[in-house]
Structure formats: C-alpha cells, structure tokens
A and B are shown apart, each in its own frame.
Chain A
Amino acid sequence: MDILRFATAGSVDDGKSTLIGRLLFDSKAIFEDQLEAVERTSRDRGTEYTDLSLLTDGLRAEREQGITIDVAYRYFATPRRKFIIADTPGHIQYTRNMVTGASTADLAIVLIDARKGVLEQSRRHAFLTSLLRVPHLVLAVNKMDLVDYSAERFEEIREEFTAFAAKLNIADLTFIPISALHGDNVVSRSENMPWYNGTSLLHHLENVHIASDRNLVDVRFPVQYVIRPQRATDHEFHDYRGYAGQVAGGVIKPGDEVMHLPSGLVTRVAAIDTFNGPVEEAFPPMSVTLRLADDIDISRGDMICRPNNRPQVAQDLQAMVCWMADGVKLAPRTKLVIKHTTRTARAMVRDLNYRLDVNTLHRDESAQSLGLNEIGRVSLRVTQPLFVDDYARNRLTGGFILIDESTNGTVGAGMITDAR
C-alpha cells in the first residue's frame, strides 16, 4: 500500500467540506464519537442537516465564524491506498494556504459548482496547482443534482476549463461530475449519470499512477547531517563517518561514482546504511546514510550528485515567489534568509520582474512590490552558492522558502525557473 497526498481547493459553498466528509465517512475514517459531536453541534445551532464541515473546521475561531482559516490535514485509507488530504480554504486571502497544501500534493481536486461554472476562484486554484507542479488535477464538477444531472452542462464546463488549462502546465487533467451531498460518483458510479463513462472520484484516487512523478533520473542527495559516532568503547564505529539525508532525486547504488558539491571532488559510494542494515539502492523519498570511498570534507548543506549530471551551482536565481507576509512587502533590495534543501543562506531581492494576476494571468511589469498572497517573478542574489534545479524538473531541489530575519516568520515560497 502506498500513499497519495492530495489537496482540495474550493470554498464551503462549493461543497468541499461535504465532499471530504463523504470520502471520510464512506471509507469509515469518521468515527461515531466524531459524528455524534458534529450532530450535536449542528442541532445546537439549529441546522437541519448534519454539517460535515464541522469535522474539518477544527479551531474555535473557525467554528465561530463559519470559515476555514488554515490548512487541515485529514487521513483515510482504503485497501488500496493511504490518503493524506490537505484541506485548504478557498477564500482569496488564503492563497498561501493553497500553496502550502499543494507543495507536497501528488494530486489536487478543484471543486466547481455546476450551477456557477468556472469562476475566478476556480481559475486561481488551477493556476496555483500548475505553479506548484502538482502532477495530477481533478476538476470535480459538484452539485450535478441541482442541474438535473445534465450532460450538456458538464460538457460546457469541461470545454471552458479545458480552454483555460491549455495556458497552464497541467500534465494530467480529469473531469468528474459528482454530487457530494448525494454521493453520486464519489465512491461508486452514479446511476443518475449514465452518459458519464469515467470512474468514480475515489476509484480515480485509488488508481492514479503516481510512482513516475518522482524524479528517478537526476541523482540529488542534499547532505543533511554528518554521523560520526566516535564512541571510544565501540571500536567498530570509531572511524565511522556517514552522510545522512533524504534522497531528493535519482537512484543511488553502492559503487556508483558520485561528485561532491561545492568541492567538485569525485569519489564512490562505499555503502548505503540504514538502521536495518545496508541497502542496495536508495531513491526518493528514502532517508539513508551514505558512506563514501574517500575522505572528503563534507558538511550539512552540501550536495552529492553524479559527475555527469549536476545541479546548477548558482548565486543568482530567477524564481516565481508567493509572498505570504502580512504587512511587510517584497520589493527590490529586501533582504531575507533563504532555505533551500538543507542549505540556509542570505538573499537579496535584485528585481521584481513582474507581478502576476492569478485570475487573468496578466503580467504587471510596472509592479513595485509583492504584498500578502501576491505572486511574481523575482531575481534573487544569494550570499553563497545553492545547488539547484528548475522546479519543473525537481520540486525538492527547485523549491525554497524565504524567512524574515527580524520576525523569523516564513514569508515566502519560491519556485526556481532559471539559475546561473
């Protein structure tokens, strides 16, 4: 059994909470005590139906205001897969939550109300999915019961959205007509839409092929931690020196010729160690410890790759940045801390090339700054070299976060588009 991480985007009005509630309920991931608590609260508030959104809105302020503030993580499993849902709020002020949820997602579900069709918000969610390179997108056209399960209405929406999606980087797009409230096409195929030839949403989630989404070509091993036991009593490990980390790309095997960055020195992998014994290969997302044939001065923040397939060693980055700070803006000369793989450095904004309108995809080249939830293309100068790939090639070696040095808050997320 593997894991599928998916993000859901849409507002409460689109029936997102109802959809999640149904997936959890039908897969028996909602328990009786949770359901009783929701039923009790629904009754207390005089709601006629059981408000499944109460299951996902965990914070007092959310329940009081009837809004979702933050990304909530939900878990369920079927015999085929374990699922992790990043449930992200759909309101405009919470773009940063969608970006957060999408950053680790294998798949995104964007909900559309069949009556309302493709809204500005739907386009924004699809764009963010594409920007974050979520490999699979499902457009769930919900509330089909309210449009008489009309094939024509579904086709209209499909055509409109397909035309928009052509402008984006979406590798895999699937349309599913559903009614979350009644369960049509959620877990099993609906009898109300005989014209629909596809699978149910859950069937799609269970079967979508994600194993090829990882980069298994370009060996990237950011050194996270150096393990040196130096236990005087334990002679076996007295001279042990291992480089611990999580494989970010490629397949590493003992005997492989590898290069260390920044030194450029070449050596071989002597062994790949784990607590359970040595392994014959390591690939994403395994956390392992490499031993190398030669003594090289290696520390946290360094990179191990193949001599003939290296990341860019760059201090000048071009990146799409989503700004997440309240108050402070990103502008030329803004100084920040950048964390990229296991390396942390300081960075300065050289230029804001343009600000992107996430609804129209219009590029405003006259923009002077980025405010909260705004996205733009930014040039950064970093104080020390980073070992980077284009985000489109590898999300782990192409993504970074920006930290405000005065507040220590995480204020930006970046996706590298070009480096030198």
Chain B
Amino acid sequence: MLPSDYTTSQLDVLEAEAIHIMREVAAEFERPCLLFSGGKDSIVMLRIAEKAFWPAPIPFPLMHVDTGHNFPEVIEFRDRRVAELGARLVVASVQASIDAGRVAEETGRRASRNRLQTTTLLDAIEEHEFDAVFGGARRDEEKARAKERVFSFRDDFGQWDPKNQRPELWNLYNARIRKGEHIRVFPLSNWTELDIWDYIRREKIEIPAIYFAHSRTVFERDGMLLADSEVVHRGDDEPTFETVVRYRTVGDMTCTGAVQSTAATIEEIIAEIAATRITERGATRADDRASEAAMEDRKKEGYF
C-alpha cells in the first residue's frame, strides 16, 4: 500500500517512467522486441515489461544476440526465465553470421566476438522487421551513452548520429520512422547501477549465479580477471589461478572481467557497489578500454 502523503521513492518514479516508455512503444510501433541477455539490466527491463502489460502477456518477443561465448549459467537462466513467462525468444547467433560469411572471426590473443554482434543484431532486426528495439543501456554507464535519447533513432544502416538527435521533451516521445529505420528504446536511461541493485532487492528478482561471489579459475590481463575457458585465448605468459570472484556485468566471456569479491547476497553486493570507486564498465569491460571514444564508435555502427 502506498503512503498517502503523495511522495514517491526514486525507484517508484523510475519504474513509472520505464512503464510509461514501454507502453508508448507497444502503442506506437508495429513490431517491437526486447533485447534480453540474461544480464541484470535486461532482467530488470523484463520485469518492467511484465508490470507494464499485466495481466496481459508481454506483447512483443525477446531477442538475444548470442555470441556463442556466453557464460553457461546465464544461458540456462535466460531459457528458464523465458519459459516461465511463456515469452517468444528470438536467438540471433553470431556463429551463424560467421558461418554465412557475414563477419570474420577475429584472430589472436584478444579475439572477441563482441564487435561482431553488431552485424548479427542489425541483420536480425532487418530479418524480423523490428521497428523498435528495447535495450537495457543506462546513461550513467558511459559518457557517449549520457547523451543518448530514450527513443534513439537509427537510420537504414542501423547507425546512430550523435550530432543529429531528435530533441526529447517532457514525456513525449517521437516514434515516427520510415520503413527500414528503427528506434532503440532505453527505458532504464535514468537508472544508475545502484538503482538497478536496489530494485532487484526490493522486487526480489532472481539473477544468474555469476553475479554472486564464487570460486573460479581466472587469469589476469590488463589488470582484469578473465575466466579461463576454451573460448578465451590465453597466452603461456598468463598463468591461471583460483580465486573468489563475482561479475558486475555479464557479457561475452572474452571481454568481461570478474572482480574479486566475497559478496554473496544482494545486500552485500549493494554495500560493495556503494563503496566502490570504479565504474562497472571500467572495472570489467575490455571493449571500452580500446580508446576514449570506443563506445561512441561502436554505437555509431549500431551496437547496443
């Protein structure tokens, strides 16, 4: 029951805004879809979709861009959650893009399928004629994202033009596009990492086990701890060791680092995040370290 002094907590305000955005998309687009990776942000986004349309089912399919290098725990979680909801899941496979000759596998020690995902994603959007694609990106994650609209226009080539964005006023979103163009929609734009965790705690939302502290065989590269796995090309000069870690973000195994942590509960994670002095992408994403504008460049090409 809500209090009657008409105050609303920050999570209630953020949730109401995200629900409004989702309903706006369902009302104005023909073929939306929601990107669901099994990561915490997309899990929260999925819960908000459930809330926005209850008691009706979520009126659009989910899509996962599967690099084939995902954490098995996360794929298991993804499939279980999709089954619970009775939702339709579209899996866009990077391996299939490689097999079809659409993209070439990177070689060498730092080979990753992270960047290849963009082609797979754009191909899937075209194939399924999706006109709106929900993503879980937040503006606090990265400085290029801080400038992105909630309704972010993408041209025929799926590209983002940061210098030519549509102004966005009040809660009025411009959903008009031509055939072949699409809108990326970010209902969690105004959430911070801590808001996400507070919400997961409040709503008692299940998340994949790798977010909690566990013992894992890892090796160190560029100050990051990468999981030892057959999909990660580890050099002989990169010895493995076993330690207790958890993940702050969930992405491709080849470029997502673990952090040393003993946080085994949501409460402990929140305490750790509140005290941390490093951003989640800075701590755990090799892909953003390439250059100062790494994210901006990938986004322009059509990355999430």
> Are these two chains actual partners, yes or no?
yes
CB contact under 8 A between A58 and B167, given known A72-B147, A279-B1: no
Residues of B contacting A400 in the complex (Cβ-Cβ under 8 angstroms): 172
- Complex CA–CA separation, A280 to B278 (angstroms): 42
CB contact under 8 A between A283 and B13, given known A69-B163, A231-B57: no
B107 within 8 A of A: no
CB contact under 8 A between A280 and B1, given known A70-B165, A408-B177: yes
For residue B293, give the distance in angstroms from its CB to the closest CB of chain A: 4
Residues of B contacting A55 in the complex (Cβ-Cβ under 8 angstroms): 143
Contact partner of A229 (CB less than 8 A), chosen from B26, B55, B172, B189, is: B55
Nearest chain-B residue to A242 (Cβ)?
B55
Contact partner of A84 (CB less than 8 A), chosen from B172, B190, B296, is: B190
For residue B9, give the distance in angstroms from its CB to the closest CB of chain A: 6
For residue A324, give the distance in angstroms from its CB to the closest CB of chain B: 5
A296 within 8 A of B: no
Complex contact A283–B55 (CB within 8 A):
no
For residue A99, give the distance in angstroms from its CB to the closest CB of chain B: 7
Nearest chain-B residue to A40 (Cβ)?
B292
- Report how many residues on chain A are interfacial, defined by Cβ distance under 8 Å: 81
Residues of B contacting A287 in the complex (Cβ-Cβ under 8 angstroms): 15-17, 19-20, 23, 52
- One of A74-82, A183-191, A196-204 at the interface: A74-82
- Complex CA–CA separation, A104 to B12 (angstroms): 17
Residues of A contacting B52 in the complex (Cβ-Cβ under 8 angstroms): 244, 287
Mask for B218-256, Cβ within 8 A of A = 1, else 0?
A: 000000000000000000000000000000000000000
Within 8 A of A (CB), among B49-72: 50-57
- Complex CA–CA separation, A82 to B4 (angstroms): 21
- Report how many residues on chain B are interfacial, defined by Cβ distance under 8 Å: 66
Complex contact B147–A71 (CB within 8 A):
yes
Complex contact A410–B166 (CB within 8 A):
yes
Mask for A287-300, Cβ within 8 A of B = 1, else 0?
A: 10100000000001
Contact partner of A73 (CB less than 8 A), chosen from B177, B190, B278, is: B190
Contact partner of B26 (CB less than 8 A), chosen from A211, A214, A225, A273, is: A225
Residues of A contacting B12 in the complex (Cβ-Cβ under 8 angstroms): 286
Contact partner of A58 (CB less than 8 A), chosen from B10, B146, B190, is: B146
A1 within 8 A of B: yes
B109 within 8 A of A: no
Within 8 A of B (CB), among A36-86: 37, 41, 55-61, 63, 69-75, 77, 82, 84
A159 within 8 A of B: no
CB contact under 8 A between A33 and B16, given known A61-B163, A73-B189, A410-B168: no
Contact partner of B55 (CB less than 8 A), chosen from A34, A224, A240, is: A240
A2, A74, A244, A300, most chain B CB atoms within 10 A:
A244
CB contact under 8 A between A227 and B55, given known A2-B9, A82-B10: yes
Contact partner of A286 (CB less than 8 A), chosen from B16, B55, B57, is: B16
Mask for A321-360, Cβ within 8 A of B = 1, else 0?
A: 0001000000000000101101000000000000000000
- Complex CA–CA separation, A395 to B169 (angstroms): 11
- Complex CA–CA separation, A18 to B120 (angstroms): 41
B88 within 8 A of A: no
Complex contact A216–B6 (CB within 8 A):
yes
Within 8 A of A (CB), among B25-43: 26-27
Complex contact A33–B278 (CB within 8 A):
yes
Complex contact B13–A300 (CB within 8 A):
no
Complex contact B171–A279 (CB within 8 A):
no
For residue B206, give the distance in angstroms from its CB to the closest CB of chain A: 16
A396 within 8 A of B: yes
Contact partner of A100 (CB less than 8 A), chosen from B20, B169, B194, is: B169
B5, B14, B168, most chain A CB atoms within 10 A:
B168
Complex contact A58–B147 (CB within 8 A):
yes
Contact partner of A246 (CB less than 8 A), chosen from B20, B51, B53, B174, is: B20
Contact partner of B170 (CB less than 8 A), chosen from A227, A275, A395, A409, is: A395
Residues of B contacting A246 in the complex (Cβ-Cβ under 8 angstroms): 16, 19-20, 171
Mask for B137-157, Cβ within 8 A of A = 1, else 0?
A: 001101111110000000000
Complex contact B56–A281 (CB within 8 A):
no
Complex contact B282–A228 (CB within 8 A):
no
Residues of B contacting A289 in the complex (Cβ-Cβ under 8 angstroms): 54
Residues of B contacting A399 in the complex (Cβ-Cβ under 8 angstroms): 169-170, 172
Complex contact A58–B169 (CB within 8 A):
no
Residues of A contacting B145 in the complex (Cβ-Cβ under 8 angstroms): 58
CB contact under 8 A between A34 and B279, given known A225-B23, A246-B20, A399-B172: yes
Complex contact A285–B16 (CB within 8 A):
yes
Complex contact B6–A32 (CB within 8 A):
no
- Complex CA–CA separation, A337 to B166 (angstroms): 15
Nearest chain-A residue to B169 (Cβ)?
A103
Residues of B contacting A2 in the complex (Cβ-Cβ under 8 angstroms): 7-10, 13
CB contact under 8 A between A224 and B27, given known A399-B172, A401-B169: yes
Complex contact A104–B166 (CB within 8 A):
no
Complex contact A31–B282 (CB within 8 A):
yes
Within 8 A of B (CB), among A398-420: 399-401, 403, 408-410, 413
Complex contact B279–A70 (CB within 8 A):
no
Complex contact B174–A3 (CB within 8 A):
no
For residue B98, give the distance in angstroms from its CB to the closest CB of chain A: 30
Complex contact A281–B2 (CB within 8 A):
yes
Complex contact A410–B54 (CB within 8 A):
no
- Complex CA–CA separation, A1 to B57 (angstroms): 32
B176, B194, B296, most chain A CB atoms within 10 A:
B176
B162 within 8 A of A: yes
- Complex CA–CA separation, A300 to B8 (angstroms): 26
Complex contact A70–B147 (CB within 8 A):
yes
Complex contact B17–A279 (CB within 8 A):
no
A192 within 8 A of B: no
Nearest chain-B residue to A76 (Cβ)?
B192
Complex contact A281–B50 (CB within 8 A):
no
Given A58-B296, A234-B55, A324-B167, 18 new contacts (CB under 8 A):
A2-B8, A2-B9, A3-B14, A59-B293, A60-B293, A69-B147, A70-B162, A82-B10, A104-B171, A225-B26, A229-B57, A240-B56, A245-B23, A246-B171, A273-B55, A276-B51, A287-B16, A401-B167
Q: List 22 A-B contacts (CB under 8 A).
A: A33-B283, A34-B279, A34-B282, A58-B143, A59-B296, A70-B165, A73-B146, A74-B146, A77-B192, A82-B195, A104-B169, A229-B56, A231-B57, A234-B55, A236-B55, A274-B51, A275-B54, A339-B174, A342-B27, A400-B172, A408-B176, A410-B169
Those 10 A-B pairs whose CB atoms lie nearest each other, nearest first: A33-B282, A58-B143, A275-B51, A287-B19, A229-B56, A103-B169, A408-B176, A287-B16, A275-B54, A225-B23
